[in-house]
């Protein structure tokens, strides 16, 4: 690595890269996109496997990235996913091999988890917003809960640990699932993460007053479990972790709550993002992007990629600004940005 890597104007250094491999998804979750989907990117506008691999190599070898998470849309819809994972697993930066993770809705993961593990994938995050088939189908607009549970079983068999489960709680929808999801994950030794709904879904549909807050989630959990905040540095991790005491029904463990809205962690942010069409975003809520695809396709050098990326990161905003009067939701939704 040459220089300080991805350093911004507030002294934060990005070590965590989120790479979106597609904006397409086979679910239509209500908090993410409209029922009829979105206008997907044309294939020719998305980065090729080779272009993704080159961007990742620059990030690891030149910019000090130590963790890579593959996202979407739904990254399992990317045919070359295993090739991309394998290329990333071969990289070595100043701190060695990067940690490789995948965030997925789980559909079809059971059929590919062995090949992904063989390619070098270290761990998986699976989205699961309800254990009730009716509520799951209503939120995802697809009746696919059995497929997700099958994939969780498959990850358990392969042994990728820790398996993290992500849940967005929606008022009037899946609040009854807070405790059952916790019991399910604790019993299996998985790490559950509750996530506050963010203004990254269909435009005009997010209402902060209707958002289920981290405090409400913790209140519901506290009625069932004995919770203790972990007495250890959180660092740049987005989740605040709580220790759950064992009882007669479950062995105890940890539960995280990601309060991006009510208790943002912008001051410790160490993330940078590349969209499926090769745009650097320094924050989920950025309204500006820096084009790497144009550099890649015009014969630009790795030095050119480094210059563009470090320049973009130097201009990273201090915070996402959701609570500021002038906040405007990004034009792209979550599926088009990458989680």
What confidence score (pLDDT) does residue 89 get? 98
Question: What are the pLDDT digits (tens) for 29-40?
Answer: 888 887 887 778
Is pLDDT of 325 > 60?
Answer: no
- Mean pLDDT (the chain, rounded): 91
| Greatest alpha-carbon span in the chain | 63
* Closest residue by Cα to residue 179 from 196, 171, 167, 189: 167
Lowest mean pLDDT among 189-193, 267-271, 300-304: 267-271
CB < 8 Å & 24+ apart, contacts of 248-252: 249/183, 249/187, 250/183, 250/186, 250/187, 251/186, 251/187, 251/189, 252/186
Predicted pLDDT of residue 199: 65
Q: What is the pLDDT of residue 334?
A: 61
Give the mean pLDDT of 42-51.
96
Centroid of chain to Cα 45:
22
Q: What is the DSSP string of 112-177?
A: THHHHHHHT--EEEEE---SSHHHHHHHHSS--HHHHHHHHHHHHHHT-S--EEEEE-BTTTTGGG
In this predicted structure, the answer to whether residue 67 has a pLDDT above a threshold of 90 is: yes
Cis peptide before 102 (omega within 30 of 0): no
Average pLDDT over every residue of 140-145:
96
Q: What's the pTM? A: 0.92
Q: Are 101 and 81 in contact (CB under 8 A)?
A: no
């Amino acid at each position: 690595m040459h220089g300080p890597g991805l350093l911004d104007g507030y002294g934060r250094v990005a070590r965590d890269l989120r790479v979106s491999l597609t904006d397409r998804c086979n679910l239509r979750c209500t908090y993410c996109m409209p029922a009829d989907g979105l206008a997907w990117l044309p294939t020719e506008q998305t980065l090729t496997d080779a272009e993704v691999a080159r961007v990742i190599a620059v990030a690891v070898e030149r910019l000090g990235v130590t963790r890579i998470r593959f996202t979407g849309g739904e990254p399992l819809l990317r045919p070359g996913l295993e090739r991309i994972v394998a290329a990333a697993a071969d990289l070595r930066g100043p701190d060695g091999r990067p940690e490789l993770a995948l965030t997925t809705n789980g559909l079809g993961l059971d059929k590919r988890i062995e090949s992904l593990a063989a390619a070098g994938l270290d761990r998986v995050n699976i989205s699961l917003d309800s254990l009730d088939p009716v509520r799951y189908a209503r939120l995802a607009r697809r009746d696919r809960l059995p497929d997700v549970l099958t994939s969780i079983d498959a990850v358990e068999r392969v042994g990728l640990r820790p398996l993290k489960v992500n849940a967005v709680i929606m008022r009037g929808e899946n609040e009854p699932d807070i405790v059952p999801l916790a019991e399910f994950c604790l019993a299996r030794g998985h790490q559950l993460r509750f996530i506050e709904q963010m203004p990254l879904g269909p435009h005009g549909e997010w209402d902060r007053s209707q958002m289920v807050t981290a405090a409400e989630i913790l209140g519901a959990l506290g009625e069932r479990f004995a919770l203790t905040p972990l007495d250890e540095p959180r660092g740049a991790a987005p989740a605040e972790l709580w220790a759950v005491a064992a009882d007669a029904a479950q062995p105890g463990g940890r539960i995280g709550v990601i309060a991006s809205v009510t208790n943002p962690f912008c001051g410790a942010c160490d993330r940078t993002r590349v969209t499926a069409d090769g745009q650097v975003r320094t924050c989920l809520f950025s309204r500006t992007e820096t084009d790497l695809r144009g550099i890649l396709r015009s014969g630009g050098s790795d030095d050119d990629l480094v210059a563009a990326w470090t320049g973009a990161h130097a201009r990273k905003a201090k915070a996402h600004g959701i609570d500021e009067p002038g906040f405007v939701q990004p034009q792209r939704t979550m599926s088009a940005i990458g989680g």
